[in-house]
Chain A
Amino acid sequence: MERLTGTFKVKSGLAEMLKGGVIMDVVNAEQAKIAEEAGAVAVMALERVPADIRAAGGVARMADPKKIKEIMDAVTIPVMAKCRIGHFAEAQILEALGVDYIDESEVLTPADPEHHIDKWQFKVPFVCGARDLPEACRRIAEGAAMIRTKGEAGTGDVIEAVRHMRLMNKQIRMVRQASDEELVTLGKEWGAPVEVLRLIKELGKLPVVNFAAGGIATPADAALMMQLGCDGIFVGSGIFKSQDPERRARAIVMATTYYNDPKVLAEVSEDLGEPMRSISAAHLPERELLQVRGN
């Protein structure tokens, strides 16, 4: 019997399965096991978590394939990995490794000043960051099967993720209310492909899953983002740069499921030890912002 692989349905379908869950950054097999046992729905295999990338400076690239394979062998949950914006050769390598999702990520140093990867050329699905709806639309037009807020990675400060989520929600409301001719004008003003805007108007929401990412450090942060309407949570440095990663990981998983139940949130927020060492995103100079990379 015939099998169709690499269709948009199966690419976006995996993201649908991740909804209501937490995707955790890990840098080795041991951390991946801890994440899986704590209830993560997927792990992001990395050389360094964003906070360390930020501290190290220089050029951040795709992780060593050996490291990614170790992590893939350690867990049954999906494994994601990051490539640089526009670096389609890194993406080809990640696809050859058989990773389950590629994050074309602003956390790594961009490889192309103007273009993102043409993601339609790949059978492996891609997730991309966005700060607003037009940016999300451009990524979807390029073939992204999942979107996440950019936030400001590696800070432990949730304000940028909140800003991006609220702006997307507001712009989705604008699209829903726009007439057909207004949609064309919005598309022109925003630099957003009008076909994607039409789809959003028809569905009343993004045509793909939208997670929150960039600065989530506590169970309360995860609940805040879920209540703002995101479909799930990425936690980068927030878990393994905290004092008690296992406990915090479990607490964030519970908070993502019971985001509407303050009693559960109070219970799981208790006695978690120190969060990651955080920096206020507002105090970062423009040149240190990751969210402005790729647009």
Chain B
Amino acid sequence: MRVGVLGLQGDFREHLTVLRSLGVEARDVRTKEQILEIDGLIIPGGESTTMAYLLEKTGMLKVLRERGAQGFPIYGTCAGMILLARELDDPYPEQRLALMEIAVKRNAYGRQLDSFEADLQIKHIGSFHAVFIRAPKIVRVGSGVEILAEHDGAPVLVRQKNLLASSFHPELTGDPRVHRYFLEMVAQG
């Protein structure tokens, strides 16, 4: 199994470290050709506008959207979740993957001063300490989307078949259980 982490910008090295600690062959991905050489992809935390610009510019967006629609496993954390969302609740249209039936509002938990840590209960995983940094909020989920964890009434970890998305950053806390869950999805995919 080979898993990629989108290496255009953001905390991709932290994701690679977690994946490698789980004994997986992991690499950063920066070209459309590399997308075809992996079995699953994590889109890390970072700035969604930056990643969207670079994805579009490099032609990776189209390749990734096509693969994602055909069952290729993708996990988006924070900025990655924004890129996966079908709907974005703010006035800044941009190119996205738009593969998941969720509506997301950017920075809806507030600015950096409102960034926070909290304990979650995650389905199939149990209690999990999570870090939210200028986090996007899921404001609606469509049919076929399973809510795996909530915080203050809003979904924060959701799955739709081959796609997984979280508002928080499991790569920052050193707890590999969400990554392990994604790897199981990749193994099944």
Contact = CB atoms under 8 A, between A and B. Distances in A.
Interface of A: 1-7, 9-10, 13-14, 16-21, 36-42, 76-78, 95, 98-101, 123-125, 253-254, 256-258
Closest 10 CB pairs of A and B: A100-B112, A39-B53, A10-B115, A3-B116, A20-B9, A41-B47, A4-B117, A16-B11, A39-B50, A13-B133
Question: Taking chain A's interface residues, is the majority helix, strand, or loop, or is none over half, making it mixed?
Answer: loop
Contacts of A254: 54, 57
B118 A13 contact: no
Contacts of B184: none
B112 A101 contact: yes
A103 B13 CA distance: 25
A94 to B, nearest CB: 11
Contacts of A40: 47, 50
Interface of B: 7-14, 30, 45-47, 49-50, 53-54, 57, 78-79, 90, 92, 106-107, 111-119, 131-134, 151-152, 169, 172
Contacts of B54: 39, 253-254, 257
A20 B115 contact: no
Given A100-B112, A101-B112, A124-B112, A13 B46 contact: no
Contact of B116 (A4, A20, A37, A41): A4
Given A9-B117, A77-B49, A257 B172 contact: no
Nearest to B44: A17
A210 to B, nearest CB: 13
B113 A76 contact: no
B49 A76 contact: yes
A253 B113 contact: no
10 contacts: A1-B151, A5-B113, A5-B116, A10-B116, A16-B172, A17-B78, A20-B8, A38-B53, A41-B9, A125-B112
B133 A17 contact: yes
A123 B117 CA distance: 13
A29 to B, nearest CB: 14
Nearest to B107: A76
A204 to B, nearest CB: 13
A268 B57 CA distance: 12
A18 B47 contact: yes
Given A1-B118, A17-B10, A9 B172 contact: yes
B47 A77 contact: yes
B118 A17 contact: no
A152 B73 CA distance: 46
Nearest to B28: A20
A20 B13 CA distance: 10
Given A10-B133, A257-B9, A17 B47 contact: yes
Contacts of A100: 111-113, 134
Contact of A21 (B50, B107, B152): B50
Contacts of B11: 16-17, 19
Contact of B46 (A3, A38, A41, A253): A41
A85 B92 CA distance: 36
A136 B189 CA distance: 46
A77 B133 CA distance: 12
Contacts of A5: 113-116
Nearest to B173: A9
A254 to B, nearest CB: 7
Contacts of B116: 3-5, 10
Contact of A257 (B30, B45, B107, B152): B30
A258 B92 CA distance: 26
B139 to A, nearest CB: 16
Contacts of A1: 118-119, 151-152
Contact of B169 (A4, A6, A13, A38): A13
A6 B115 CA distance: 7
Contacts of B172: 9, 13, 16
Nearest to B110: A98
Contacts of A101: 112
B119 to A, nearest CB: 7
Contact of A123 (B90, B113, B118): B113
B169 to A, nearest CB: 7
Contacts of A38: 53
Nearest to B12: A20
Nearest to A6: B113
